[in-house]
Structure formats: C-alpha cells, structure tokens
Amino acid sequence: MTTTDLHNPADGSHLATIALLDAEAVDDAVDRARTAQRAWARLAPVARGEGLRAFATVVRAHVEELAALEVANSGHPVGQARWEAGHVADVLTYYAAAPERLFGRQIPVAGGLDMTFAEPIGVVGVITPWNFPMTIASWGFAPALAAGNAVLLKPAEWTPLTTIRLGELAAEAGLPDGLLQVLPGKGSVVGERMVTHPGVGKVVFTGSTETGARVMAAAAPTVTNVTLELGGKSANVVFADSDLERAAATAPYGVFDNAGQDCCARSRILVEESAYERFMELLEPAVAGVRVGDPADDATEMGPLVSRPHWEKVASYVPDDAPVAFRGAAPDGPGNWFPPTVLTPSSRTDRAVVEEIFGPVVTVQRFRDEADAIALANATAYGLSGSIWTRDLSRALRVARAVEAGNLSVNSHSSVRYATPFGGFKQSGIGRELGPDAPFAFTETKNVFVHVDEDPAPEESA
C-alpha cells in the first residue's frame, strides 16, 4: 500500500502517515455511492434536510478538534481554523433548507401541463486543494448532498486530516453508509479516476488553473459536467479619494491572510499616482504589524507556508535583487516561515505581477486615472476577486462593473459568504459555488409535459 508522511508546517515534526488509495478503490467507492444515492434521493425532502442538520450539529460540536487538526496539518492560525470549522457547520445548515426548496417550474403551454423537475445528477466528485481543506470541501458536498446526490471527496495530498475527520463525523451524524466517502490519494491516481469514471456525473474541482484545465480535458470523453474554481491574481485598487488610512491598514489582511495561500488574495495593490507616497508610508507599519508566529497561539494572524516545496516556490519570487520595498517579521528556526513581503516592480509584466505566487508577497503599482486602473486590474488571465477603495459611490460602481472578476468588494476585502455566489471569470474558473442557487448546479433539469384532453362540452361547464 502507498503511504504519505505529513509534517507540521510550523516546526517540521512528523504528524501522521496516511494511506493513499488506488484507482480500484475509487471504482468500489463509486459502486457504494450509487447504491447509497438511490436510497438518499428516495427519502422525503424533509428527511434529507434533517440529515444535513444533524451533520451540522456534530460538526459544530467538534469545532475545537477540527481547528486543532488544521493548525497542525496546515499551519492555519487557530482563530482562523475555528472560523473554518464553524463555517462548515454554517454551510451545512444553510443547505439543509435546500431539499425542501428545490423548486421546479410550471410553464404555460398549449394542450396540457408542463413542469420541470430538478433531478439529482447521481454521484458527484469533489476534488479540493490544500489551502482551505474544510471550507472548500463543504462548498461542494453540502449543496450536492442537499440536491440528492452522493459525494466522493478527494482531499489534497498535503492536507487530508480534517477532511478524513469530516467523513467520520458524517457517519457519526447518521448519514447513510457510502453517501459521503473521503478518498485520500494522489491527484494523478484517485483524482484522475474520479474524473474519468463513467459513473461520476459531475466533478467540482478547486485548485490551480493548470490542473483545472487538465481535469476539464479528462472530463470531456465522458461528457462529465465540471465546476472549476481555479487560481487568482486579484487587484486591490486604491483611489486617492479613499480613506487611505483604512485602505492601508487593511491591505495586508487582504493578501497575507492564510499566509497569502488564498485564491482571493489581493496580491496586486494598485494605487493612484497622487496618493502613492502617502499610501506607502501608511502601508509599511501596517505590514510590520502583522503578527506572524505560532499558529496555535490565539493572537497569531499569519502562520507558516504549508510545505517546504511550496516555500521554495514562493521564495523564487523574491530573489536577492528583488525590488523589496519593505518586509514584515517571521520566526527563525524550523518551519516554513516566510515574512510578509512588499515588492515594487517597475515593469507591468514582471513575473511577480503576472503569476499567482500563493504566498505572502504583494506587488504595489501606480495608476494614472480610472481607465488606467481598470486596464491594470484586468491585465491578467485570472478573474476571481478584487477590492475597490474610493469615497465616490458612482466610481465604485463603475469600476466594480468594469473589472472582469467574479467577486468584488468596495471599501472592504470580503469575498466569501455562504449565502452569496462565488467563482471566477476568465481562467479563474467555470460555474459558481455557494449562494441560493448552488444546489441546482448538482441537478439536471427534467421537463415533463402532461397532455390534458380538451373539455368535450366546454359551453356546459362554463
């Protein structure tokens, strides 16, 4: 049996050895999932809702345990990890209402009655990345289960522990055997088999754009439906008329949260020329103030990077001659520590400006006017997120409509709420997760027409 060793990113210590499944295990899982799904879909909608509410209750009772696991496996600060575990319970609670609200439509037609049904797809594969293992898994499995599907869930190789635990908690909550199965394994083995298996009707993939494109191609021969949540290189656009103090004080948290390992990280700060010097003066102490350290400490705001290979990738964007404006602090010693780093490249096509770094490295660039700000914000293959700082509401709305991204915030860095849709434009993805419509992404629309005989004696019955 193939195994993998997991290490604590904060100190390098050995954490666990995990068995990696093979392709045959995926085939067996699909068979079990099909059986479980048929029974689940036959349940009354209220019973499926109760199942999800019970799951939410069990997750909420294990928030501390799940958070501690995420701290150890992923290096997330404990306050953030608690939020993530609580968010899973919130997402389950939100979608527990969905089975009773999977409305179809009655459409006026001649000669009878026409209606639509939202039918479950069947078996759904959810493939997650290592940066937010719990939350991203729940965005897939909660609405998919609500819509009457079974779910196979593959966590990323580096961070499977909380996902494995969520699978156990689902069973503890009484979800039927086989309905939600966690399949740890390699992307090239378990992930690929999930995508190509003819019994899997839909795949929700979250990860890099490169792998997402491969998943889409692998899904094509079986015409398997995909939702793709991919990379990002989002802009934080700061106009001179904004509350510069607030814009600068919050900018580090818009990019350095989760050590920058966030698909929505505002990793390109764009500042109007006339406010640039003042903004940089304000940004320096804000970056120095980010509390980087032991993720198990309640006061910590930023932990280590997830792994050594990832640390090396991030470090490659800050060579000795990099245009470093200033940096924050990071602990010495073992662990994948990387300080918050601010770069000011002179070229608009610098590698650090164009590529997703996925670490605590941000670039700051100047723009001339509104049109230049929009052009710069859109000068990327990605289109996931972004922020706009201005006191001019009309400008805020003009720019928000012009930026090609799925999730924008004005005078804030908010991206994710379970009640609102989330996803990317351009190479940041296809489809949307979360929000009221998410369960419908896990259904097929069926149209049924019922012929109605003409009234044989219309005058008499009138």
| Member of 187, 295, 335, 339 binding ligand NAD (CB under 6 A) | 187
Q: Which helix (H) or strand (E) holds 7?
A: strand 2-7
435: number of Cβ within 10 Å: 17
> What 8-state DSSP symbol labels residue 348?
T
Site membership for ligand NAD, residue 188 (CB under 6 A): yes
Pair 85, 62: CB distance under 8 Å:
yes
| Member of 211, 224, 365, 409 binding ligand NAD (CB under 6 A) | 211
Q: How far, in Å, CA of 369 to CA of 380, rounded?
A: 19
Site membership for ligand NAD, residue 131 (CB under 6 A): yes
Site membership for ligand NAD, residue 236 (CB under 6 A): no
Site membership for ligand NAD, residue 229 (CB under 6 A): yes
Count of residues touching ligand NAD (by CB under 6 A): 32
User: Closest CB to ligand NAD among 29 and 230?
Assistant: 230
Query: Rounded to whole angstroms, what are the CA distances from 103 to 116, 118, 147?
Result: 8, 7, 11
User: Closest CB to ligand NAD among 57 and 208?
Assistant: 208
163: number of Cβ within 10 Å: 25
Site membership for ligand NAD, residue 162 (CB under 6 A): no
- Minimum CB separation of residue 156 from ligand NAD in Å reads 4
Taking the mean position of all CA atoms in its chain, how far away is CA 377? 21
- Minimum CB separation of residue 422 from ligand NAD in Å reads 7
User: Does residue 264 have an active-site annotation?
Assistant: no
Catalytic position from the list 70, 229, 356, 433? 229
Cα dihedral value 315, 319, 322, 325, nearest 10: 50
- HEC states along 369-415? CHHHHHHHHCCCCCCCEEEEECCCHHHHHHHHHHCCCCEEEECCCCC
Query: Rounded to whole angstroms, what are the CA distances from 357 to 55, 249, 255, 312?
Result: 36, 22, 11, 11
User: Does residue 263 have an active-site annotation?
Assistant: yes
Pair 225, 375: CB distance under 8 Å:
no
User: Closest CB to ligand NAD among 206 and 250?
Assistant: 206
Site membership for ligand NAD, residue 232 (CB under 6 A): yes
185: number of Cβ within 10 Å: 25
Q: Cβ-closest residue to ligand NAD? A: 187
Site membership for ligand NAD, residue 90 (CB under 6 A): no
Beta strands in 224-356 (DSSP E): 225-229, 235-238, 268-272, 324-327, 341-343
Beta-bridge partner residues of 341: 327, 361
Q: Which region among 69-77, 249-257, 421-429, 451-459 touches ligand NAD (by CB under 6 A)?
A: 421-429
User: Closest CB to ligand NAD among 49 and 423?
Assistant: 423
| Member of 141, 338, 358, 389 binding ligand NAD (CB under 6 A) | 358
| β-strand pairing of 443-451 with 112-120 | antiparallel
- Minimum CB separation of residue 329 from ligand NAD in Å reads 25
| Member of 35, 116, 208, 414 binding ligand NAD (CB under 6 A) | 208
| Member of 122, 383, 386, 424 binding ligand NAD (CB under 6 A) | 424
| Member of 58, 142, 164, 195 binding ligand NAD (CB under 6 A) | 195
Q: Which region among 47-55, 67-75, 210-218, 365-373 touches ligand NAD (by CB under 6 A)?
A: 210-218
Mapped onto helix, strand or coil, the DSSP state of residue 68 is helix
Q: How far, in Å, CA of 185 to CA of 26, rounded?
A: 10
68: number of Cβ within 10 Å: 17
- Minimum CB separation of residue 97 from ligand NAD in Å reads 23
Catalytic position from the list 263, 264, 301, 433? 263
Residues with Cβ < 8 Å from 237, sequence gap 6 or more?
A: 270, 367, 373, 377, 386, 387, 388, 389, 399, 403
Q: How far, in Å, CA of 53 to CA of 30, rounded?
A: 25
User: Closest CB to ligand NAD among 185 and 340?
Assistant: 185
Q: Which region among 169-177, 189-197, 245-253, 364-372 touches ligand NAD (by CB under 6 A)?
A: 189-197
Mapped onto helix, strand or coil, the DSSP state of residue 435 is coil
Beta-bridge partner residues of 145: none
Site membership for ligand NAD, residue 157 (CB under 6 A): yes
Site membership for ligand NAD, residue 230 (CB under 6 A): yes
Site membership for ligand NAD, residue 263 (CB under 6 A): yes
Site membership for ligand NAD, residue 9 (CB under 6 A): no
Site membership for ligand NAD, residue 175 (CB under 6 A): no
User: Closest CB to ligand NAD among 170 and 384?
Assistant: 384
- Minimum CB separation of residue 215 from ligand NAD in Å reads 5
Catalytic residue numbers?
A: 229, 263
**Where does this chain bind ligand NAD (CB under 6 A)?**
127-132, 136, 154, 156-157, 187-188, 191-192, 195, 206-208, 211, 214-215, 229-232, 263, 356, 358, 384, 424, 428-429
